[in-house]
Structures are given as structure tokens and as C-alpha cells.
Amino acid sequence: MIKEKQKILQQYLKWGWLAFIVITVVFTLLTIQLQHQQPQLVRQLLIEIRQMLPPSRNNVQLFGAILLNNEKVALMILFLALIPIPGIYWLTFLATSSSVGLVLGLTVKNGNWFLAVKAFVLGILPHGIIEMSALLIAVALAAQLNQQWRRFLFSKKHTHDNTSLKSILLQYVILVVPLIAVAAMIESFITPLLIKWGGF
């Protein structure tokens, strides 16, 4: 049973990372194209992105704001699983992936791809690997929750497996919550140093 769950998680991680790469590349290219065709719209998007960033005076406050925001994102994935539509829990992950592509697209100025790659490696990759993996684990758990919920709502037998529900929540607490905390710590304390070192 444990090996089967590990296999499911590995599948979600593999296909989720592939989806992340494809979505990021597509949205990077779309943003670059948009910058040429609708520069005013891109500037407005940039202002809105800056407003979404947590206001903070120091790294500790930044850590708290990022941690809270990312835990909300992961919980949103689980809450979406309660809508009895298969796959809807992917929406939050897809939105996060597209926002990464948007930021990278905004980084490419005058066709300077080196700058975008540098920004990705120093500003996103160190914490992003852990954060996106945590979100993908949340998606895998949401898929199980969604399947159980639909079975409970639409099955004639109405069997409810409390053990499995507890297992999903336990995996969330043991895997997702700490990974998001580690990612937030890296993003708050290490990423700013890397960005400064990179000359941004």
C-alpha cells in the first residue's frame, strides 16, 4: 500500500514537473510577444505583480508573509478537491506555473535571454524546486481526496473511508507543510543574497 502511494506521488511529480516546464516556457514566450504588441498591458501586469508581493521590512517578516501565502496556495489545492470535478485541483498549480512564465517573460528585455536564465537560476530555482514539488504532492493528495469525495457523493453504497482521509491529511502535514516552510526560508533568506550577488 505504501509503495503504491509512493509510486502515485512519483508519477504526479514527474508529470507535474513536465507540465510546469511546458507552461513556464509557453507563458514566457507569450509575455515576450505581449511586450511587443501591448506594452501598456504588460506594465500594468508588472504593477499588479509588485502589489501582490508581501510588504516586509526584513527577512523574518518576508519569511512569515511567504510562508502564509504558500500554505494558503497548498490548502486551496485541497479545498478545490472538494468540488466533485476530476482535475479541478490542478488549477492553482497551473496558475502558479503560468505566473513564473510571466515573470521570466518580463525579465527578457531587448531579447536578453541570458538575463532571464540568470534570474530563473538565482531567483526562482533554489526555492522553486522545493515549493513546486510540495504543490505537486498537494495535487496528488487532492486527487485522492477528490476521488474519495466523488465516490461518497455518487456511489450507491456510500462507504466512507476515514482511515484513508486521515492518511491524506497526515501526508499533507508531514510532507507538504514542512517543504513549503523550507522553500519559504530559502526564498526569504538565501534568494535575496543570490539576487544581490547576481547584480539584479
Number of structural domains (the chain) is 1
Give me the pLDDT at residue 56, please.
62
Q: What angle do CA 189, 194, 199 make, to 5 degrees?
A: 135
Give me the pLDDT at residue 110, please.
56
The model carries a pTM of 0.86
| C-beta neighbour count of 88 within 10 angstroms | 15
Q: Has residue 51 got a pLDDT over 80?
A: no
Q: What is the DSSP string of 58-123?
A: SHHHHHHHHHHHHHHHHHHHHHHTTSSSTTGGGHHHHHHHHHHHHHHHHH--TT-HHHHHHHIIII
Confidence of residue 48 (pLDDT cuts 50, 70, 90): confident
**Of the segments 3-7, 55-59, 163-167, which one has the largest average pLDDT value?**
163-167
Q: Has residue 42 got a pLDDT over 80?
A: no
For residue 128, give the nearest of 96, 106, 102, 105 by alpha carbon: 96
Longest dimension (CA), the chain: 62
Q: What percent of the chain has pLDDT over 70?
A: 88
Rounded alpha-carbon distances, angstroms, from residue 169 to 35, 64, 71, 145, 157: 43, 23, 14, 9, 24
State the average pLDDT for the chain: 85
Q: Which domain holds residue 131?
A: 2-197
